[in-house]
């Protein structure tokens, strides 16, 4: 019986894994990009995972592997918001909880405008809170007390140019939200993330800060760029700012988190109820686009796209999810923000074309 459609060998596309490895291999040849890893998901299945390049540019034989951990920067925000969503499911918090109600000991220390700001406003960057604030207070310290002091000083005054209810991206806002979670549970943010998110999803590689610490020293370093070229650096955000941008993970484990957010009917996971996922994906304005809880929500070809990027200036990553089609693209690299962002965007655009019908 003849085939309905004839195909030559040239017309048959190779598997995404093959194309992905070739794409990543060619991309890391750029002078500002030491290493890159990328992953693709479709309908809860991994279509591809590839890595290429150097962990450090000064070590030409120290190549990355698919099992390496990358710094995820502000892609942490979606994870923080998810953990808080689980606490809401458990009845420990409400999206409408206010700073004044949940952090009453700060009532006399912060601007009165902030007392009625809600947890949902904090997670969607509509709280009128400055971007970074007093983050360097005791920068090596990572305690509830230190986070409280950062929040106290950062919210002491309400800048007139930051109206509550309008979008203003804020790392401090996520610190406040995490502080509320710590206050109501009497557990640290890091413990909550492990208990509520990483352990249930079996994200065994997930941790905080740089991924090149003593417990796993053979992972990539971040890089800065000067007039002599790329330089490996071991610099990161202050540990108290972890809720806004300090998780590291392998791409394999990051995919587990992505798969959770693609499972809008809760058929594969029972960690989040469909209603909770819908809320986490819902922009503050309730319109088709805007900022939700750790996700920038947009539209492409009539389909909702959840996207976020992350960087501590020496690493860069980006994630895109299309819940309607069950597709996710994740890309991470250990190059500096400005020089890496364009290359990562191009990789995502190429992969998205592969997935288009």
Torsional sign, CA 152, 154, 160, 165: negative
**SS3 labels along 4-41:** CCCCCHHHCCCCHHHHHHHHHHHHCCCCCCCEEEEEEE
Question: Is residue 314 within 8 Å of residue 25, measured between CB atoms?
Answer: no
Strand (E) or helix (H) holding 327: strand 327-333
Predicted local confidence at residue 136, as pLDDT? 73
Question: Is residue 193 within 8 Å of residue 185, measured between CB atoms?
Answer: no
Cα–Cα distance measured from residue 78 to residue 291, given in angstroms and rounded to the nearest whole number: 11
pLDDT 10s per residue in the chain (357 long)?
332 333 333 345 679 999 999 999 999 977 789 999 999 999 889 999 999 999 999 999 999 999 999 999 999 999 999 999 999 999 999 999 999 999 999 999 999 999 999 999 999 999 999 998 877 776 667 788 989 999 999 999 999 889 999 999 999 999 999 999 999 999 999 999 999 999 999 999 999 999 876 555 578 999 998 888 899 999 898 899 999 999 999 999 999 999 999 998 888 888 999 999 999 999 998 887 899 999 999 998 889 999 999 999 999 999 999 999 999 999 999 999 888 999 999 999 999 999 986
Predicted local confidence at residue 202, as pLDDT? 97
Q: Supply φ then ψ for residue 32, to 5 degrees.
A: -105, 10
Q: Supply φ then ψ for residue 271, to 5 degrees.
A: -75, -40
Predicted local confidence at residue 160, as pLDDT? 86
State the distance between the two ends of the chain, measured CA to CA, in whole angstroms.
27
Predicted local confidence at residue 7, as pLDDT? 35
Predicted local confidence at residue 338, as pLDDT? 83
pTM of the model: 0.93
Predicted local confidence at residue 217, as pLDDT? 57
Q: Supply φ then ψ for residue 86, to 5 degrees.
A: -65, -40
Predicted local confidence at residue 226, as pLDDT? 87
Q: Please report the domains of the chain, with CATH numbers, ordered by start residue.
A: 9-72+204-355 (3.40.710.10), 79-191 (3.40.710.10)
């Amino acid at each position: 019986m003849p085939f309905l459609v004839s195909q030559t060998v040239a017309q048959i596309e190779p598997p995404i894994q093959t194309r992905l490895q070739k794409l990543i291999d060619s991309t890391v040849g750029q002078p500002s990009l030491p290493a890159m890893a990328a992953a693709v998901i479709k309908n809860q299945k991994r279509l591809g995972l590839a890595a290429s390049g150097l962990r450090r540019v000064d070590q030409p034989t120290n190549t990355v592997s698919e099992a390496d951990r990358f710094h995820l920067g502000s892609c942490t925000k979606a994870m923080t918001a998810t953990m808080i969503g689980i606490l809401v499911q458990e009845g420990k918090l409400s999206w409408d909880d206010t700073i004044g109600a949940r952090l009453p000991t700060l009532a006399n220390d912060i601007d009165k405008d902030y007392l009625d700001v809600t947890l949902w406003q904090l997670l969607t960057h509509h709280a009128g809170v400055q971007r970074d604030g007093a983050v360097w207070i005791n920068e090596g310290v990572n305690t509830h007390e230190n986070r409280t002091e950062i929040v106290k000083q950062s919210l002491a005054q309400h800048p007139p140019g930051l109206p509550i209810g309008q979008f203003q991206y804020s790392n401090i806002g996520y610190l406040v939200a995490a502080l509320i979670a710590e206050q109501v549970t009497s557990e640290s943010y890091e413990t909550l993330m492990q208990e509520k998110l990483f352990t249930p999803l079996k994200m065994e590689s997930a941790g905080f800060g740089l991924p090149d610490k003593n417990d796993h020293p053979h992972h990539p370093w971040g890089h800065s760029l000067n007039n002599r070229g790329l330089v490996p650096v071991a610099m990161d955000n202050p540990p108290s700012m972890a809720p806004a941008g300090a998780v590291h993970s392998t791409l394999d484990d990051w995919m587990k988190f992505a798969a959770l957010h693609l499972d809008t009917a809760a058929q594969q996971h029972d960690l989040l109820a469909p209603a909770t996922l819908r809320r986490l994906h819902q922009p503050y304005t309730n319109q088709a686009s805007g900022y939700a809880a750790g996700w920038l929500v947009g539209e492409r070809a009539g389909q909702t796209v959840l996207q976020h990027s992350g960087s501590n200036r020496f690493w860069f990553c980006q994630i895109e999810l299309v819940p309607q089609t069950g597709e996710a693209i994740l890309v991470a690299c250990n190059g500096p923000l400005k020089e890496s962002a364009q290359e990562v965007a191009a990789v995502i655009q190429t992969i998205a074309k592969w997935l288009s019908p």
